Amino acid sequence: MKRREWIGSLTALAFSGLSAYANKKAESLPKILLQEEEKQTESWTQGNIRFTWLQDNNGEKRMPNSLFSGADAETIQRLSPEGGALATISCFLVQSNGKNILFDTGNGKADSRLLPNLASLQIQPEDIDYLFLTHFHGDHIGGMLSQDKVVFTQAEVYVPQQEYDAWIQMPADKNQQVVKTMKAYEKKLHKINGGDKLPEGIIALNAFGHTPGHTIYQVKNTLIAGDLLHGAAIQIPHPEVCASFDMDKKLAIQCRKQYLQYVKDKHLTLAGMHLPVPGFMDWKKI
């Protein structure tokens, strides 16, 4: 529904006698309009492939400086003077040969923006043909279920084998969401390893460290880099800095250095699940 129509139907509602409902709607009107003005998707193309950044978080997101370690506090403060580095929770849509391919699914919280942002591109959850996961943290798999029901009903789901194996073996207090989600998609799961041949020429690259099987994807000249970076303003100049979420810090640093160099050497576009708006950047900015 276009905004004018929406306001029109709201006005109609206000006069329809459903006053309690209408009043409730009217109270929230300015906030909703504000949200619509925010940029939450942006596309770019490479050859016949169209990429779209999809923001999942609602409103501004910063990663607090206190999450970062590996450089002195003064350096971190200088690079991130607001007390937190600008970031997002993002997903990416790749459209190639008529297929809709989604990378990660965001948090799946009540105010998550992934599904409304997909709808703004005329894409419904059942239109997703393939879902690729970088790793199993909640801000990446949370959108796969809604009230315990499968959201992407038609999608073939590609998960890193090493990530799957590691999380399944974790204690129940750590892996409850993973177990429930993977069980729900059981018949659609494809466990993959770095170097496997994947649909639409997608290349999986091992980027272990952030999590045991963290995997990133190269599509044409774009690297969909998962959680290689949490605070770009700090970690691009200082890749030796880790966010507290990096499970194996030594390995995470090694991967961050290696793949930032790879992006520069190959002149790739870097797309990241926590890069600041608009979620992607040119290699020249690295």
Specify the length of the chain in residues: 286
The residue among 61 and 137 lying less far from Zn ion, judged by its C-beta, is: 137
Residues 119-178 touching Zn ion, rule: CB under 5 A, are 137, 139
The residue among 134 and 162 lying less far from Zn ion, judged by its C-beta, is: 134
Q: How far is the CB of 191 from Zn ion (least distance, A)?
A: 21
Q: How far is the CB of 230 from Zn ion (least distance, A)?
A: 7
**Choices 112-120, 184-192, 220-228, 252-260; region in contact with Zn ion by CB under 5 A:** 220-228
* Closest-CA residue to 208 (of 134, 264, 133): 134
Q: How far is the CB of 127 from Zn ion (least distance, A)?
A: 25
**Choices 19-27, 179-187, 224-232, 260-268; region in contact with Zn ion by CB under 5 A:** 224-232
CA 249 – CA 255 distance, rounded (Å): 10
Q: How far is the CB of 61 from Zn ion (least distance, A)?
A: 11
Long-range (24+ apart) CB contacts under 8 A made by 236-242 are 236/260, 236/285, 236/286, 237/79, 238/70, 238/71, 238/75, 238/79, 240/70, 240/71, 241/68, 241/69, 241/70, 241/71, 241/76, 242/68, 242/69, 242/70
The residue among 96 and 112 lying less far from Zn ion, judged by its C-beta, is: 112
The residue among 129 and 139 lying less far from Zn ion, judged by its C-beta, is: 139
Neighbours of 86 (CB within 10 A): 17
Neighbours of 197 (CB within 10 A): 9
Q: Quick one: CA dihedral 153, 156, 158, 163, positive or negative?
A: positive
Q: How far is the CB of 79 from Zn ion (least distance, A)?
A: 20
The residue among 49 and 236 lying less far from Zn ion, judged by its C-beta, is: 236
CA 177 – CA 183 distance, rounded (Å): 10
With binding defined as CB under 5 A, does residue 104 bind Zn ion? no
Q: How far is the CB of 139 from Zn ion (least distance, A)?
A: 4
Q: How far is the CB of 1 from Zn ion (least distance, A)?
A: 32
CB-based contact 131:105 (threshold 8 Å):
yes
**Choices 6-14, 157-165, 213-221, 223-231; region in contact with Zn ion by CB under 5 A:** 223-231
* Closest-CA residue to 114 (of 137, 136, 93, 86): 93
The residue among 137 and 220 lying less far from Zn ion, judged by its C-beta, is: 137
Using the rule CB under 5 A, which residue among 56, 104, 129, 227 binds Zn ion? 227
Judged by the rule CB under 5 A, the positions of this chain that interact with Zn ion are 137, 139, 227
